[in-house]
Structure formats: structure tokens, C-alpha cells
Structure 1
């Protein structure tokens, strides 16, 4: 066998392994900039539009609700379009919402753009875990870790650079709309995805898990796991600015949180990949958040970066591990995808409620202490629930295999 032939075969193997991962990462990076770009610019947005803090929480709440509702409808509406058509339309919706933000000037239009973009995010996000499971059946923890890390990296980059772009163009609208670039790139990569990966129809995903108690437990756990992230991106920049941080510095805090989210999202699934019992790493992911929020309450100013880093690491690990645990419950990629759609559906509805309630707590108490305390309580509940995710219970708690 010639050296040229070996080299060609190696290149083809590497392309088969990594090109689909690049497509997955590109899809994931479109899923958070719409949410995270508004927080660091919220003071400027409020000055222009007059939007209240509680109404501003809708910029996160509405997309989260969309992320919850669409996956629950997928078994019924999914049959109307192919996977390719759904993903394409979802990316178009995200791009359209970003483009709209270049011209809008009212709070109503801004909230409406969150709804349009949130619908697109919901479509892409609900289908992504099934794609991961199908494309990387033997490498689910690694693939899910990269998906989660790319998702969080997109959010962190947007939070960090949005104030820079806004300052450069003297327009907060520019800081929000620049993220049109990500769904456009993702569309190109999706259309150029490897030919050997066949398009999946969602029409056969008729199984639902509404009557399954473990599915509800996983969904509730996922919802609480994301509540901290939703509250942090919604309120951390405002909280930091109250401590004397500038708009750019408050955005950088989200960037720092994201760096550690990426570390947690990549590290935890990889380190836990040699054993099916992922509970020790879940305990770590939740426990480090507990320590971070306690620090945020007791020593907020002096060690803020440390607490944000700890919370970010725990959030990243928790997100990827929770989805991985859900995928672990079923061997069939189709059924596992349907389960994760249910988990994300119910979970994001729970997640959406919490930052809205947090906004109410903040305005009622006049302090963010009540918000951090509420999140501490949810984390303690998660620590208790984590004990139930023993691998030997998976078969018993699922009605399907």
C-alpha cells in the first residue's frame, strides 16, 4: 500500500471524525448569543427604551419558554418537516431576530425579537442531542461535552464582545445584531455536512414520556440546573455594575464565567466517560456552585471573579452531564433523542419561570441576596436528587430500551 494511499485514508478518517463535530459545534454556538448579549448592555437599553428590570427578564424568559414548549410539541409537529428543514428554519429565525435588532428602538420590539429568536433556538436545540447520539454513538460523552462547551462559548463571547461592538459603533443595537454572523456560518456548515450522514425524519418520533416518572425527574433536574445560568446571564452584569463595574467589565465577568463553563462542560463528561455512574461528577458540579453562591452572598466585591469562575465551572459540568445522563438511559438514538427533547422541554419551562421570579424578588427586596439564596435552595434540592441517578436504575425506570 502506497504512502499516498495511507495518507488519503488517514485524511478521510479524520474528516469523518471531526467534520461532523465542527457542524455540531457551529450549531451549538448559535444558541446563546441572543440571550447573553443583552445583559451587559441592559443599562443602555433601559435608558433608551425605559424597560423595567422585571420586563427585561423576558429577554431571557421568553426564549427559555420557547425552548420548553417546542420540544414538547415535536412528537406531533415534527412529522410535518424533515430534520434538515427544521434546522434550516431554526437558524433562519435566529438570524432574522439578530438582524431585526439592528433597527429596533422600543422595548416591545426588543421583546418580540427575543420571541422570534427564541423559537429558532428552541428548534435547533431540541434536535441537537439526537444528532449527537446518532453521529457519535460510541463517543456520546465527548461529543456532548464539545456541544455543551461550544454552546456556552457562544454565549460567553457574545457577552464579552457585545459592549465592545456597541461602544465602537456608539449603538447598543449594533452590539446585539452582530451575532447574525453565527447562524449564517452555521447554515453554511449545516448545508455542507458530510453526505454519509443521512437526514433523519422526525415523523417516527411518536413516543412521549409524559407518564414516565424518571423522565419528569430528569426534566426537573435539568430545569433547576439551568436556572442558575439563566439568572446569572440576566442579572450578573447588573449586579456587577451595582458594585462599580463598567459595562465592558460586567460583560467580561460573563466571559470569565463562560471560560470556566467550557472547562466544566468539556472536562466532566471526559473524566466520567470510563464509568456509567456519573453521580460523583454531578456532586462536584452542584457542590462547586453551592460554594460559589455562598461566596457571592458573603464576600461579593473582594472575590467576585473567583465566585463567578466556580459557578461557571459547575454550570458547564452540570449542563453536559445532565444531558449525558438522560442519553445514558436509552440505547436507541431515536428514543434517547425523544427523551432529551422531553427533558429540555419541561426543563426549560422550569428554567424560564425562575429568572422571572428572581426579578420579582430583586425588586421586592431591593437586593440580589434573595436571588442568590433562592438559587442555593435549588442546588441543595439537586444534591439530594443526584443520589437517584444510579445506572442500575436506568432500565427499571424506563418503559423502553
Structure 2
């Protein structure tokens, strides 16, 4: 793939859309203490608020292939941006029902948009889909870093956390306008045998490889959304002030830019992605332990290790979807199932941390739970990282080759 063969307009639009798929989540965590004080929500309710968008990712990502078939992937992605913008604007009302409803809409929009993009990348950039997934993941990480790092300053500048959270709708509106004006208009590809209806979905679910990718996606995403939802709160419990806790989280997400872009290139050094997957999970685990158990001297190394690990792990999880599927249609179905089931599993992480905080469980026990989640992800990566691919044979049957 050369510079002349890259569709630069699609690449720009992909990055712009990707920037919108994390700020709605990461901008909430730094202001959770303010939200709790102003709305009188209990820690358990706050835990439900941080869990809701992740659960919605799991519920709505499987709907992406159906919406893609009904409206076309381009229109379905535009619809997801409309829903994200509406959910962000609703948060401005600041009441508990508006917060939960807005967060529900945001999660639904991100779930559909996040599941559609890997298939579009596979379609527009078939030869370099795994590498371009790194660029897309880098955009996600940048959006997450901006959301975390600018949440407190925006809230202070705009006079409160409600307009600070709602301000991110402007980015979604800009992306929507740009997507509508410049979205790719590739002719639809005729369905090949075995690629239509629910039979293909059932066939994919019968493949062990699908479940291995799904559980890996869920476990590493659980760690990511615990960081998005609870890391500032956990750092405040350790004695850091609110602004520093938000800054540390933002810095960690910003570091993800490096590994999100580099991980797919590292994975391409061999046909087996297991070494890269295990390296990323090791970095994440060490970073969390340094931040939550070690002294202040280790906070910066911990932030860097956590960022490198999580950026690489998420980028590789998305790259596995395109590497393990033979064409864009399979990539779309696998993306919806892996992200849907994975995010449903991941939602248990932030909710469990909320329960542990409600029960006043100590930081060491919470850290031990996070290490357990990382261990589950490592076990799944050992199988999902092997050189395997879902494909249709000559008779239209789905196989793993």
C-alpha cells in the first residue's frame, strides 16, 4: 500500500469520526465528584452511570450489521453521530434522568459507530486494514485524552460541569457535517453465498475463534472502561487532588496514541500476534499496580506503562477483527458480535468497582481484581492471537482456516 493508493479523504473522515467515540465517556470521570455532589447520587448510582455506556456498547454494537444492510454503512454511521450529539446535549440539563438518558444515547451511538468503522476500513483499505486500524485507534485515544484532560478546564471555563460535558456535542456535529459532505460512496457489493441472513451469524458464533476474540475484547475493554470511569476517583482516594487525578488519567490516555499506532506494525512482524498481545497486557497490569499501590515517585512511570499497554491492547483487539476475517462483510459481522458481546462483558468491570467502592473495599483488593481481569485477557489472547481466519469455503460454509 503506497501513498498514492490510500484514500486520504476517507482516512481524514475516519479520524474525525474516531475522535468522537471516546470524549463522551472519558470526560465524565474527572467530574464525577462534582456530579455526585450536585445530584446527590449514591456511589452505586454513580457506578451504574459509568457502567451504562459500556453496557449500551454491548447492546447496540450487534445492531450495526442490520443497520448497515438497511440504510447502508455510511448512513448508519451518520445516524450514530446524530445520536451521540443528542445524548451529549441532553447532559446539559444536569438532572439524574437527563444524565442517564443522555449517557444511554451516547453509548448507543458509540456502540453502532464503533462496530461500523472496522468494516468500512476493511472495505476501503483491504490491503492495509490492520495498519489503518492503528490510525483509527489512535484517533480514539486522542479523543479520550482530550475528554479526560479538558473536562475540568472546560467545566471551570463554562461555569459548571453540565455545559462542560455538553460542549463535546460540537465535535460530533462537525464530524457529522464533514461525513455527510465527504463520506465514501462505494457501490454495494453483491452478497455471496452464505453471507446473508442470520445463518452467517449463527455460523460465526459456532466458531471458537469468535468467542476467543470476544472475551479478549471484553476483558481488555473492562480494564479500559474502569480507567475511564474510576481511575480519577481511585487516585483521589490515594490522596491526589481532583485536578491532578484528571490530568494523570488524561496523560495516560494521551500516551495511548503511541502504542495504538505502533502495535499493528509490531503485530505484522510475524503471523502470530500473541507476543504483541501479551506485551500490551503486561504493560497495562504493571502500570495499574504502580499507580494504585506504589508511591508518588512511580506515578509517571505508571501512567506511561498503563497508556502504552492499553493503547496497544485496544488497537490489537480491533486489528484482530480485520485480521481474522476474510472480507469486509465478515469483518462487519465479527465486529458487531465481538464488540457487542465483549462490551456487555466489559460493563461488569466498572459496575463491580462501583460496588466495591460502595462497600468501602480497599485499593489493594480492587487492584487484585484488575489483575484478575488482565489474566483472563491474557488467557484469551493466547488463542485469539494465533494465525487463524474466518472465511467461506467454495460451498458457502463458514470455516476457520
Q: Same fold (TM over 0.5)?
A: yes
Looking at structure 2, the residues matched to 111 and 28 of structure 1 have their Cα atoms a distance apart, in angstroms, of 23
On the 8 A contact 2:52/2:104 being kept in 1, the answer is yes
Which of these residues, 83, 103, 110, is aligned with residue 114 of structure 1?
A: 103
Question: What does residue range 130-209 of structure 1 map to in structure 2 within 5 Å?
Answer: 130-193=119-182, 197-198=186-187, 204=196, 206=198, 207-208=200-201, 209=204
Question: What does residue range 301-380 of structure 1 map to in structure 2 within 5 Å?
Answer: 301-380=296-375
* Stretches of structure 2 lacking an aligned partner (at least 5 in a row): 393-397
Deviations along 1:206-247, one digit per CA (max 9) or x if unpaired, are: 421222222111101110011111111111111222334333
Q: Aligned with 1:331: secondary structure? A: coil
Q: Aligned with 1:387: secondary structure? A: helix
* Stretches of structure 1 lacking an aligned partner (at least 5 in a row): 1-9
* TM-score of the two chains, using structure 1 as the length reference: 0.90
On the 8 A contact 1:83/1:201 being kept in 2, the answer is no
RMSD: 2.5
Map of 2:395 onto structure 1: none
Looking at structure 1, the residues matched to 274 and 372 of structure 2 have their Cα atoms a distance apart, in angstroms, of 19
After TM superposition, the structure 1 stretch with the greater mean CA deviation from structure 2, 354-363 or 65-74, is: 65-74
Residue 119 of structure 1, CA deviation: 1.1
Q: Aligned with 2:384: secondary structure? A: coil
Looking at structure 1, the residues matched to 212 and 333 of structure 2 have their Cα atoms a distance apart, in angstroms, of 15
Looking at structure 2, the residues matched to 74 and 101 of structure 1 have their Cα atoms a distance apart, in angstroms, of 25
Residue 380 of structure 1, CA deviation: 1.8
Q: Does 1:254 align with 2:249?
A: yes
Map of 1:23 onto structure 2: 13
Deviations along 1:154-200, one digit per CA (max 9) or x if unpaired, are: 01101111110111122111210110122112112211336563467
Looking at structure 2, the residues matched to 114 and 135 of structure 1 have their Cα atoms a distance apart, in angstroms, of 31
* TM-score of the two chains, using structure 2 as the length reference: 0.90
Map of 2:399 onto structure 1: 399
On the 8 A contact 1:330/1:400 being kept in 2, the answer is no
Count how many residue pairs are aligned between Structure 1 and Structure 2: 389
On the 8 A contact 1:35/1:59 being kept in 2, the answer is no
Map of 1:223 onto structure 2: 218
Which of these residues, 60, 74, 77, is aligned with residue 87 of structure 1?
A: 77
Residue 393 of structure 1, CA deviation: 4.0
Residue 26 of structure 1, CA deviation: 1.0
Looking at structure 2, the residues matched to 29 and 201 of structure 1 have their Cα atoms a distance apart, in angstroms, of 31
Q: Does 1:385 align with 2:380?
A: yes
Cα–Cα, structure 1 residues 400 and 284, in superposed 2: closer, same or farther, change >3 Å? closer
Map of 1:288 onto structure 2: 283
After TM superposition, the structure 1 stretch with the greater mean CA deviation from structure 2, 119-128 or 299-308, is: 299-308
Cα–Cα, structure 1 residues 82 and 395, in superposed 2: closer, same or farther, change >3 Å? closer
Map of 2:40 onto structure 1: 50
Residue 396 of structure 1, CA deviation: 9.6
